[in-house]
Structure 1
C-alpha cells in the first residue's frame, strides 16, 4: 500500500495517514471575539470526512493582540476553548487527529484581512498597537512597540495558557508557529530583530524565545501528545534567516522535546525573492530531516498524489501538508487513494462515502 496511507506514531499518538491539512487562516470571526464559528466546523470537518490524517486549525492567537486580523480565531479564553471542543469532537468522530497552531503575529498583527482592506487596522476601527522584537515595521504596516523582557515573559506565559486550553478542548497535537514572519520568526531573523540584549544579536540569543516557548509548552502539554513547530527555512532575503540556521535550530528543537518540524519558508520581509515551483520547499524539509535528525513535514505546491508519494519514497519528509490544494478539494486524500490504488477497505472513507471507492 502507498506509504501516504501508512499511519504515523509520534509519542503516544497515532495518526491514520501521512496526508495532513496545513493551517490556513479563514478570517471568519465576525464578532471579533476570536471564537470559532460554524464556518470552522464545516471547513475543518469537511477535511476530516475527506480523509486527512491530521486536521490542523488555522493560527489560533494566544492573546487578543496576537491576532493577525480582527477576524482571526484565538485560544486565549475558556469560551474559545469550549467552541474548539465541539469541532475537535467532530474531527475525532470521523477518524482524523485534531491539531491547533498556537500563534502570535507580533508586528504583523492588527492587519486588515485580505478582502477587507490593506495595511494596519486603525485603533478607531478595531485595531490595536502591535509589538515585536524591535521597533521595525513590516513593509506597509505600523511600527510595532519593542517588547521589554517582562513583556516577553508574559508572551511565554500566554503560549502556556493556550496549550492548557488546547488540552482542555481535546486537541491531539499542538504546533508552535515560528514561521511566516510572525512573532517567533521575527525574533529569529536579524532583519526584524535588532536587539542587543539576551534576545538579539547572536544565533543563540535570537533562538532563545522560541526555545523558551517550546520548553514551557512541553511542560504543560501531555507527555504522550506530539509537539510540532513550524519554521520558515529561509527569509529568501540576503542577511536574513537561513536554511543552515533552520537545520541548527531544528536539532535544538528536537533536543527540547519537539517531535516534528513543519518546514515552510518566507513571510518575514516583503523583499523576498522566492523561486516557486512544484514542491519548491521540499528540499528544506529533506535537509532538516537528514541533518537535524528529526521528523519533518513538507509543504508548498504539493498537488498531485504521485508527487506526494514520491516525497515519502525519496525520504524527503515523514508527512506532507496540503494547503491550497485542500481548499480546492476537501477530499484530496480520497482521490489520492483512488489514483494510487489503495484497497477500498484501507482508504480513509467514512461509511457514508464508501461508494466513492468503487472503481466502476
Structure 2
C-alpha cells in the first residue's frame, strides 16, 4: 500500500513518518496494516475472474478439438474412392487390350485352323460353317474326315488357305458374331462345289453315301450341287433295271473347280432270241409247203459282269481283313469261312461264318481296292 498523505480519521495533512496523527492521534500504522491485508484480499478476488476465464477458455478449446475429431473425414473417403475407380479403370483397359489380342483375327485363325484339321468331329463341326453361316451336317464332317485319311496332304493345303484367308478360296474366315459385344467372332467357311456326272445308265438315280440326292440334267449330263470337299461313295443305278448300276468313290477337292466323273456300266447283251415263223406258201401245183423263216430279235436288256476274284486279298483297316482264295478269312482276332453273296458293279455282300458259331452278312461298296462299309463308317484298303 502507498504512503498516506492525509489522516483517514480527521483529514489532517500528514508529514512523512510517524505512527499517529499529530492532530487527532489516530493510529496510522495499524490502519496501514489492516488496509494492506484488505487490499491483498481484493487483489486476489480480482484475479479469480481472470483465472475462471482462462479455465473457461481452455474448456472451449478442448470442446472444439473434440468436435473436430467427431466430424467425418470426407477427404479420406474421397481418396479411397478415387483409388478404387482408378484400379477398376486400369483393369478394364488391360482387359480390353488383352481381349483385343486374344480375340484378334490372327489368334482366332490359328485356333480354328487346328480345330478344322484335328480330325475330331466335334471340334470340326464347331469351327466350320457353310456360305450362309450355318453349321455343317454330320455327313459333311464325315466326308471331310475321310478325305484327310485318303490324302493327308489336304490338311496342309487347307491350313494354307485359312492362313491366306482369300474369298476366292474354298476355305476362308467369316464373321459370325461378336465375343463380349466388342470383339469379332470368326468361323471357317467352306464353299459348295458341284459334281458333274456323265453316264450310259438309262433312267439314272443318284446316291451319295447311301442317300438319294437330286440332280439337274444339262446337255445329257447330270449335275449334283452343294457338295462340300470330301471323300464320297457315289452310286448311279437304273431306276427300272436294278442290275444296271455303277458305284465309285469320288473326291471333291479344294481347288474350287467343279468335279467331273464318268459312270460307265458294262453292258452285256443277252443271247438273241430266235423266233421261227412258219409261212404257208402255195407251189405251182397248189401244194402247200412250210418255210421256216428264222428271225433274230435283239435283246435290249443289259446285264453286268462281276468278278469275285477281285475281292480276294489282304486289306488294311481297323482291324485288318484278309480274304483267302480257299474261302477262309481273318478279321482281327476272328476267323472262319466266308461266302460272297453279291458282287455287282461295286455293290458287295459277304457272309462271314465264324468258327465259334454264328454268321453275319455285311454290305460294302468296292472300288479301286477300297472296301467301304457305310454301316461302320470306315474303309479297308487292299494291299
Query: TM-score with structure 2 length normalisation?
Result: 0.21
Which has the larger share of helix? 1
Which has the larger share of strand? 2
User: RCO higher in 1 or 2 (8 Å CA, sep ≥ 6)?
Assistant: 1
Query: TM-score with structure 1 length normalisation?
Result: 0.22
